[in-house]
Structure 1
């Protein structure tokens, strides 16, 4: 189990960072974080710092044109009324495909009859610049293997784990 303080910069802006006193904890080798992120930390000890850059292919991939689709506006009806509270450019909307797979889409454009949705990861196509400080390294405990969250925002047992592979908390705290 490794705990790190980190700062992620994208396009010259801080895109994410750990909170003071709340390091991101993860079990190395479980796929919780990007493989190249973990690789950059291998062999590092408590107190060591590392800065590294991940190109899109080593981060969240390139933007996939086919993942940007026009959907009929009427699928955004809730109780016979258009869900205008979520239909605005930039809104992240949880959706499911025909097979029931959950995914997050970002509204890119709202037209008269269609809504352009982008199902690429929000960091797809981006170069990721990390600054990371290793703050803890310890053996994994049985409790660690039960899942739950280590972000300090959710209490225990949120069920989804903490990260979405880049340190963002997925829990609804």
Structure 2
């Protein structure tokens, strides 16, 4: 079986990143104890990574360089914004667990879409948050192996993503 549209592909990999200033640095390892599974052809991974895996079989390896423009884009200073401290209230009280520098929280934009933001600073102006993707501005170097391929279930195809063992509830 080959990695192609409507197949669930499981991979292991090592990812190194390069910000253009400090050279390559180790970022992440996904190993066989918890492989990364995705629905091929459903736009669930970076297109260049999917291209590198396309047509591979179980046991095949891959290596791919993805520049920042084809990865997560450039780092944008305008995605660092102040948010009112009142946005961190639950039941009318400040949620002190959320208000910590370095904490990553999910917020919503004005259309209700989820946005991941990291708290950079808390001061009299409010909470300075960075809404850039963590790997924005980095070139990516993936090296990995395909460890499993299976036919996707119709429900996975309909939903556009992989379901874990025992199914998936929305």
Equivalent residue pairs, number: 157
Q: Which of residues 71, 83, 97 is equivalent to 1:59? A: 71
**Is this contact kept in 1: 2:10–2:35, CA < 8 A?**
yes
RMSD: 2.3
**Is this contact kept in 2: 1:25–1:150, CA < 8 A?**
no
**Is this contact kept in 2: 1:24–1:151, CA < 8 A?**
no
Structure 1's unaligned 5+ residue stretches are 160-173
Q: Which of residues 1, 8, 11 is equivalent to 1:4? A: 11
| 97 and 85 in structure 1: CA distance in 2 versus 1, 3 angstrom threshold | same
Q: Which of residues 59, 70, 76 is equivalent to 2:88? A: 76
| 81 and 27 in structure 1: CA distance in 2 versus 1, 3 angstrom threshold | closer
Highest RCO, 1 vs 2 (Cα 8 Å, sep ≥ 6): 2
Q: 1:33: how far off?
A: 0.7
| 75 and 138 in structure 1: CA distance in 2 versus 1, 3 angstrom threshold | closer
- Provide the rounded CA distance (Å) in 1 between the counterparts of 2:47 and 2:125: 41
TM-score by length of 2: 0.78
- Provide the rounded CA distance (Å) in 1 between the counterparts of 2:129 and 2:42: 31
Q: Which of residues 127, 143, 146 is equivalent to 2:139? A: 127
- Provide the rounded CA distance (Å) in 2 between the counterparts of 1:105 and 1:62: 16
2:102 paired residue number: 90
- Provide the rounded CA distance (Å) in 1 between the counterparts of 2:85 and 2:167: 38
Structure 2's unaligned 5+ residue stretches are 1-6, 19-23
TM-score by length of 1: 0.77
CA offsets per residue over residues 42-94 of structure 1, 9 Å max, x none? 23222221222211111111112221111222322333332221112211111
Superposition map of 1:108-119 within 5 A: 108-119=120-131
2:50 paired residue number: 38
